[in-house]
């Protein structure tokens, strides 16, 4: 009886979120808050309280560091996820100390038992035995796989693959290089020399059991080898008699990445156009999988399409999200400016609906010019789309009516698109959209330009479940939360409560990186901005805010799988703004890698922007879901079938977990559920029932 009682208490405790340690790196602060120094930085984690630490379900933890500041060329990637059938998780990032030879893939693991990540990984920690970059991680049926490219430009170039049959530090990694069929290439770093290469780079990967879906690109377009920038080089990867300087290739493995049963499949025969293949560059794509449903999203200037397979990658069909044919070819008149695609993401929900989000980047095209002009320094917002929608008409995304010269005026109120699913940039100060202010910082080429070419608010990730859609992203902070020397960015999650039909960034946005360890201000004297219609102007006083802690938080990515409504976020933090894209990729001050863990259904209560501006957000106020009644019988169960009768006519999800939090049974139904417990290990289990609007948990004993 004593053992049963103790076990019961453990089961009840584990059914609730637990608090974990909240770590940070002690930094040397200069006189101006938020500006980094060139002093040494300690890497010893320090315990520190948080104004949200005592809230159940909120987890923020420092997991690793790096000095390498190029996280992606374009889209956020699949670098963090839950392990199937459990709430264990893993994340990876590109490590590096102070030189390229140290670059590789760092990895850390989430331990469900202790509700905590592993020890902080140093800048030189990597799983590979050779220099790599841009690693991605995926779970297989029993183990895991990490892919990265080695950056070589010869017959040794390819994707470095590491696999192991067990998860999380159990067993050795097995490493090899996945190479492409050799093809002739004229590379810009070799002048006009022609050589054969096996080079494939910039992997993006999604796994489903032991099936691994991988997309890479061949060598990049060598612009220095030709003076005619409207044409393409005469050497490269060959498809149907045509040569390409860069082309996406699809690979599939059915044994967890040990061998590849589909190799070097290109998408030309399924409808991907020649121009699209030529324009796809590194990381300008995303991949997602659910069961046998696979989607590969790719963005080209300025359109967006995806290849879709419903037979596990055997055949593909091209689908259009946004195709701007008016921008193709050489125009005879100047093209009207509009929002193009900056960075993008894709997701398949439980009903196999496809969700797409892309960051809007203003584009224009001059008469007689074959190139596009992008204006990433001007606010653009996001565009949401799903597979129930028609392809987007470019006229719906006309962004500006001013001429090109006026686009330089940062204080001009630009006309934004009227597209129904346009999501404006978030303003943490309460303006209806983010503006450049004449009194605020500019965005000079030499400072904080590393994100400029992809748009203003960028790196979205999207998930959807039970009629709600969640988008994570980074966005600049209003002045004076940013500094006069350059913009700082924050990490945000915006939620649509009606399946993406409406978006309200002010009332349904969580500023996730607002936290005393990363960012905090005194709002005691702050007053909401006042709009004066007659002058078409805003009245506000930035001096009413006193900033205490100020750090840069950027490069977010969100897990593409959801476990029991839990979601994972990962991002990079630094005391000062990240350096320019044309600056050194290795920084003296380290970038801290953070992991954030929070229940999805609590985000409506987490939405904190109004509370932050009122100085009230000292903790998250939780509103529990309504409880529904459920009857479990027989209970205790000895063998055979257990019946679960739920007092609702709505569809519900039933999940059974053991005392370690591992899922042992899950189903979605609308009727009385029957669970076969014949193979259950005797012990105590938690039966969770969840509808769109209510939830309940009950104990089940199996003898």
What's the rounded Cα separation, in Å, for the pair 234 and 194? 10
Rounded distance between C-alpha atoms, residue 339 and residue 88, angstroms: 40
Who has greater pLDDT, 7 or 487? 487
Q: How many CB atoms lie within 10 A of CB 205?
A: 26
C-alpha distances in Å from residue 176, one per residue of 95, 150, 159, 256, 647: 20, 11, 8, 14, 54
Quote the CA–CA distance of 343 and 547 in Å, as a whole number. 30
Q: What is the CATH number of the domain that holds 634?
A: 2.60.40.3080
Confidence of residue 257 (pLDDT cuts 50, 70, 90): very high
39 has a pLDDT exceeding 50: no
In b/e form, how buried is each residue of 149-183, taking b as 16+ CB within 10 angstroms? Answer: bbbbbeeebbbbbbbbeebbeeeebebebbbbeeb
Q: Which is more confidently placed, 335 or 176?
A: 176
In a domain, 242, yes or no: yes
Q: Quick check: 162 pLDDT over 90?
A: yes
pLDDT value at 309 more than 90: yes
From the list 625, 627, 643, the residue with the least C-alpha distance to 635 is 643
Higher pLDDT, 210 or 1: 210
Q: What does the pLDDT read at residue 137?
A: 97
Average pLDDT over residues 375-381: 69
pLDDT of residue 95: 93
Identify which has the larger pLDDT, 617 or 103. 103
Tell me whether residue 91 is in a domain: no
Distance CA 80, CA 138 (A): 8
Among 245-259, 408-422, 583-597, name the most confident range.
245-259
Distance between CA atoms of 317 and 272, rounded to whole angstroms? 9
Cβ-based neighbours of 271, under 8 Å, separated by 6 or more: 307, 316, 317, 318
Predicted confidence band of residue 384 (pLDDT cuts 50, 70, 90): very high
Classify strands 530-532 and 519-522 as parallel, antiparallel or unpaired.
unpaired
Of 63, 73, 71, 141, the C-alpha closest to 107 is 63
**Closest CA relative to residue 607, chosen from 622, 589, 586, 628:** 622
461 with 288: CB under 8 angstroms? no
- Per-residue H/E/C for 213-281: EEEEEECCCCHHHCCCCCCCCCCCEEECCEEECCCEEEEEECCCCCCCCEEEECCCCCCCCHHHHHHCC
- Higher local confidence (pLDDT), 65 or 375: 65
Confidence class for position 8, pLDDT limits 50, 70, 90: very low
Q: Residue 105: is its pLDDT beyond 90? A: yes
Count of Cβ atoms closer than 10 Å to residue 228 Cβ: 7
Q: What is the DSSP string of 656-685?
A: EE-TTS-EEEEEEESS-EEEE-TTSPSEEE
Domain hosting residue 273, numbered range: 127-133+147-279
Tally of domains in the chain: 2
Using CA atoms, how far residue 69 sits from 38, 225, 311, 450, 586, in Å, is 16, 28, 38, 9, 6
Final residue before a domain boundary, out of 259, 279, 299: 279
Token digits of residue 409: 């005026």
User: Looking at the predicted structure, is the pLDDT value of residue 299 above 60?
Assistant: yes
Q: Which two tokens stand for residue 103?
A: 């670059």
Indicate whether 455 belongs to any domain: no
**How does pLDDT run across 557-577, given as a tens digit for each residue?**
999 988 877 889 999 998 877
| CA 28/CA 31 separation, integer angstroms | 10
Last residue of a domain, one of 221, 249, 279: 279
Q: Between 404 and 686, whose confidence is greater?
A: 686
> Higher-confidence residue: 301 or 700?
700
Give CA separation, 514 vs 189, 477, 608, 609, in Å: 43, 11, 9, 10
d(CA 410, CA 511): 25
Q: Are 254 and 396 in contact (CB under 8 A)?
A: no
Is 413 part of any domain?
no
pLDDT at 512 over 60: yes
> Rounded to whole angstroms, how far apart are CA atoms 324 and 299?
12
Other Cβ atoms within 10 Å of 523 Cβ, number: 17
Q: How far is CA 528 from the centre of its chain?
A: 31
**Secondary structure (3-state) at 9:** helix
Work out the mean pLDDT of the chain and round it to a whole number.
79
CA distances from 329 to 324, 374, 614 (A): 11, 17, 52
Report, as an integer, the average pLDDT of 603-613. Answer: 83
Among residues 192, 245, 197, the alpha carbon closest in space to that of 217 is found at 245
Per-residue confidence band for 240, with pLDDT thresholds at 50, 70 and 90: confident
Dig out the tokens for 86 from the structure: 């459990």
Asked, for residue 644, whether it belongs to a domain, the answer is: yes
Q: What is the pLDDT of residue 621?
A: 41
Residues 517 and 419: beta-carbon distance below 8 Å: no
**In the prediction, which pLDDT does 641 show?**
92
Strand partners, 549: 520
For residue 11, name the pLDDT band (cuts at 50, 70, 90): very low
Of 53-67, 75-89, 545-559, the range with the lowest mean pLDDT is: 53-67
Burial class (CB in 10 A: 0-12, 13-18, 19+), 622: middle
Confidence of residue 516 (pLDDT cuts 50, 70, 90): confident
Phi, psi of 224 (to 5 degrees): -75, -10
- Which of 222, 250, 279 is at the close of a domain? 279
329: Cβ contacts below 8 Å, ≥ 6 apart: none
Is the torsion defined by CA of 41, 43, 48, 52 positive or negative?
Answer: positive
Q: Would you say residue 40 lies in a domain?
A: no
| C-alpha span between 663 and 625 (Å, rounded) | 21
Domain assignment present for 314: no
Rounded to an integer, what distance in angstroms lies between the CA atom of residue 126 and that of residue 106? 5
pLDDT, average across residues 318-325:
90
Task: Identify the burial level of 111 via C-beta atoms within 10 angstroms of its C-beta, where 0-12 means exposed, 13-18 middle and 19 or more buried.
Answer: middle
Q: Is omega for the bond preceding 11 within 30 degrees of 0, making it cis? A: no
Rg, the chain, Cα only: 26
Task: Catalogue the E-assigned strands of 370-435.
Answer: 373-374, 382-386, 422-423
What confidence tier does 432 reach under pLDDT thresholds 50, 70, 90?
confident
**What pTM value is reported for the model?**
0.79
Q: Which residue did the predictor score with more confidence, 324 or 148? A: 148
Q: Is residue 609 part of a domain?
A: no
Q: Is the pLDDT of residue 180 over 80?
A: yes
pLDDT at 184 over 90: no
What is the maximum span of the chain, computed from C-alpha positions, in angstroms?
Answer: 86
Position 430 scores a pLDDT of: 86
302-305: which pairs have CB atoms within 8 A and are 24 or more residues apart? 302/327, 302/338, 302/339, 302/340, 302/341, 302/361, 302/363, 302/372, 303/276, 303/327, 303/340, 303/341, 304/341, 304/344, 304/356, 304/358, 305/272, 305/276
105 — phi, psi (to 5°)?
-115, 115
**Average pLDDT value for residue range 376-383:** 75
Q: Over the stretch 614-661, which tens digit does the pLDDT of each residue have? A: 877 654 444 455 678 889 999 999 888 999 998 888 888 888 988 666
């Amino acid at each position: 009886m004593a053992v049963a009682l103790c076990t019961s208490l453990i089961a009840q405790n584990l059914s609730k979120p637990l608090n974990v340690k909240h770590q940070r790196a002690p930094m040397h602060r200069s006189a101006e808050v938020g500006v980094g120094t060139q002093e040494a930085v300690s890497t010893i984690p320090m315990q520190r309280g948080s104004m949200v630490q005592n809230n159940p379900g909120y987890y923020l933890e420092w997991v690793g560091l790096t000095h390498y500041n190029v996280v992606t060329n374009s889209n956020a990637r699949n670098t963090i996820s839950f392990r199937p059938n459990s709430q264990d998780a893993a994340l990876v990032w590109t490590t590096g100390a102070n030189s390229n030879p140290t670059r590789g893939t760092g990895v850390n693991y989430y331990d469900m038992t202790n509700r905590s990540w592993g020890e902080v990984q140093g800048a030189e920690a990597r799983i590979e035995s050779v220099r790599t970059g841009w690693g991605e991680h995926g779970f297989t049926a029993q183990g895991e796989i990490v892919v990265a490219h080695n950056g070589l430009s010869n017959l040794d170039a390819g994707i470095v693959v590491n696999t192991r049959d067990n998860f999380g530090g159990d067993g050795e990694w097995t490493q090899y290089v996945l190479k492409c069929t050799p093809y002739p290439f004229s590379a810009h770093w070799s002048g006009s020399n022609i050589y054969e290469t096996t080079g494939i780079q910039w992997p993006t990967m999604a796994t489903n059991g032991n099936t691994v879906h991988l997309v890479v690109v061949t060598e990049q377009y060598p612009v220095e080898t030709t003076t005619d920038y409207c044409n393409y080089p005469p050497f490269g990867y060959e498809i149907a008699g045509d040569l390409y300087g860069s082309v996406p290739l699809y690979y599939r493995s059915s044994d967890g990445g040990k061998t590849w049963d589909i190799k070097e499949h290109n998408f030309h025969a399924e409808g991907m156009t020649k121009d699209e293949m030529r324009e796809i560059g590194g990381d300008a794509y995303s991949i997602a999988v659910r069961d046998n449903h696979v989607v590969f999203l790719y963005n080209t200037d300025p359109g967006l399409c995806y290849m879709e397979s419903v037979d596990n990658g055997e055949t593909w069909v091209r689908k259009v999200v946004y195709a701007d044919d008016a921008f193709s070819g050489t125009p005879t008149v100047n093209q009207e400016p509009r929002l193009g695609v900056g960075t993008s993401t894709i997701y398949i929900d439980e009903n196999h609906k496809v969700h797409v989000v892309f960051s809007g980047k203003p584009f224009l095209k001059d008469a007689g010019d074959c190139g596009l002009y992008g204006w990433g320094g001007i606010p653009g917002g996001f565009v949401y789309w799903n597979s129930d929608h028609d392809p987007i008409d470019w006229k719906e995304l006309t962004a500006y009516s001013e001429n090109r010269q006026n686009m330089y005026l940062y204080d001009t109120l630009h006309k934004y698109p009227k597209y129904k699913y346009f999501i404006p940039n978030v303003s943490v100060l309460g303006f209806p959209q983010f503006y450049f202010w004449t009194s605020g910082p500019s965005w000079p080429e030499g400072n904080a330009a590393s994100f400029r070419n992809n748009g203003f608010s960028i790196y979205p990730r999207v998930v959807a479940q039970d009629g709600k859609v969640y988008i994570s992203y980074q966005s600049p902070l209003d002045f004076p939360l940013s500094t006069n020397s350059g913009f700082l960015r924050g990490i945000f999650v915006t939620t649509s409560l009606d399946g993406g039909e409406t978006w309200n960034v002010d009332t349904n946005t969580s500023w996730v990186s607002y936290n005393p360890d990363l960012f905090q201000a005194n709002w005691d004297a702050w007053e909401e901005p006042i709009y004066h219609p007659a002058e078409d102007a805003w009245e506000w006083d930035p001096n009413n805010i006193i900033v205490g802690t100020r750090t840069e938080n950027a490069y977010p990515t969100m897990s593409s799988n959801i476990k029991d409504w839990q979601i994972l976020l990962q991002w990079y933090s630094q005391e000062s703004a990240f350096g320019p894209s044309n600056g050194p990729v290795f920084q003296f001050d380290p970038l801290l890698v953070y992991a954030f863990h929070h229940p999805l259904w609590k985000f409506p209560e987490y939405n904190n922007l109004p509370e932050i501006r009122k100085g009230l957000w000292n903790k998250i106020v939780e509103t529990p879901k309504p409880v529904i009644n459920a009857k479990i019988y027989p209970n205790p169960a000895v063998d055979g079938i257990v019946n679960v009768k739920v007092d609702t006519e709505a569809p519900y999800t039933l999940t059974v977990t053991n005392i370690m939090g591992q899922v042992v049974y899950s189903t979605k139904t609308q009727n009385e559920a029957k669970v076969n417990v014949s193979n259950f290990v005797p012990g105590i289990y938690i039966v969770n029932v969840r509808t769109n609007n209510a939830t309940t948990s009950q104990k089940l004993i199996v003898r």
